Amino acid sequence: MELSRVTDEALVKQHNTITSGRYDFSACQLDVLFMLLATLNEEDEMGKEYHIRVKDIELITGRKWNYQQLKDGNENLLSRVFEIQMPKGLKQIVLFNEVQYLDGTGSFYMKINESARPYFFDLKNNFTLLELKSVLSCTSKHAKRIYSLCCQWRGTGGQRFDLGEFKEMLGLKDPKGKQAEQYSKVSMFKSEVLDRAKKQINENTNITFDYELKKIRGRAFDTIIIYCGATKPNLAQMEIDFRGDIEKQKKNAELLQKIENIKAIGIRDDLAELWAVKYWKEFVSEKNNLIEQMQKGKAIENKAAYLAGVFKKKGHV
């Protein structure tokens, strides 16, 4: 693999099945996966060997790697099962069928499993676009996965998940219940997974991330809403004063993107600015509710009018 093919500006196309699939890769193994994705070419022949070098990752992130950790991690790569929920049941595959570490070089060769090939090459429109440097700069494996999910849903501002399914995606919960759930206490889940991911994503990546846990069906938290902000400016992000002048706040790149996301639904400019500044989380939540209702068969022709009506009832107009 030539370094010129993988630079600071490299973007990674990841099949949405991989983005939202159920698997528990270590942070090291995820970095290997992302580096592999960055080297793929649609014309690659089946059985091609891909050469991954740790030095390339170090040059992109500026972070030194523990070569022994890399070697140990990749010894387990072939045993990592990737789970996909299919219409007729759960499909389990292994992404790679060969990994060879080259002693003393900090590099290794790997081959893609033939049955997994569609999830690397048959992307069409079903993919998530990631910034390689951003995902490599996150050190937590959960931050890497949540960053990927945020990239998948940033066009809508966020997404709602069943909390149990969200934990299954991150490899924290066994859908069959045979293994103990990790971070079963909400306080630990927040501090060790969500808050850590939030800090790393907001400090090291090209987007912003926030979340909200909700109790929809009972007394326990059963739903998580992830909020995915837009591309951040290179300079330190400005604080948003909800009582200040909207025109001044529009200089903030994240706020501008929020306004554009709301306007894309058909909301007029002045309301889009107001909602972006004061009611962004409410907008994402109501938009998710709207999408869910439409998926269940409810006919809503004018999405903008529907959302405006909801916001008017709540006094947000």
Q: What is the pLDDT of residues 42-60, one digit of tens each?
A: 889 988 999 988 888 888 8
pLDDT on residue 171: 92
3-state secondary structure of 20: coil
Of 234, 264, 266, which is closest to residue 252 (Cα–Cα)? 234
- Residues 198, 201: Cα–Cα separation, whole Å: 5
**Average pLDDT score, the chain:** 82
Q: Which fold has domain 138-229?
A: Arc Repressor Mutant, subunit A (1.10.10)
CA-based max dimension of the chain: 66
The pLDDT tens digits of the residues spanning 193-209 come to 999 999 999 988 888 89
Are 250 and 272 spatial neighbours (Cβ–Cβ below 8 Å)? no
Asked whether the CA dihedral 129, 131, 134, 136 is positive or negative, the reply is: positive
CA distances from residue 173 to 80, 146, 236 in whole angstroms, order as listed: 15, 16, 36
pLDDT on residue 244: 54
pLDDT on residue 147: 95
Q: Which ranges in the chain are annotated with CATH 1.10.10.10?
A: 11-132, 138-229
pLDDT on residue 106: 80
Question: Which residues, 6+ apart, have CB-to-CB distance to 269 below 8 Å?
Answer: 259, 263
- Residues 282, 316: Cα–Cα separation, whole Å: 9
pLDDT on residue 3: 35
DSSP 8-state symbol, 268? -
Q: Is CATH 2.60.40.10 what the domain over 11-132 is classified as, yes or no? A: no
- Residues 136, 140: Cα–Cα separation, whole Å: 10
pLDDT on residue 236: 35
**What single-letter amino acid sits at 83?**
E
pLDDT on residue 201: 93
The pLDDT tens digits of the residues spanning 69-84 come to 777 777 778 888 888 8
- Residues 91, 86: Cα–Cα separation, whole Å: 6
Give pTM, 2 decimals: 0.70
CA distances from residue 145 to 36, 68, 78, 133, 194 in whole angstroms, order as listed: 16, 23, 19, 14, 11
Which segments of the chain have a pLDDT < 70? 1-9, 230-254, 257, 295-297, 317
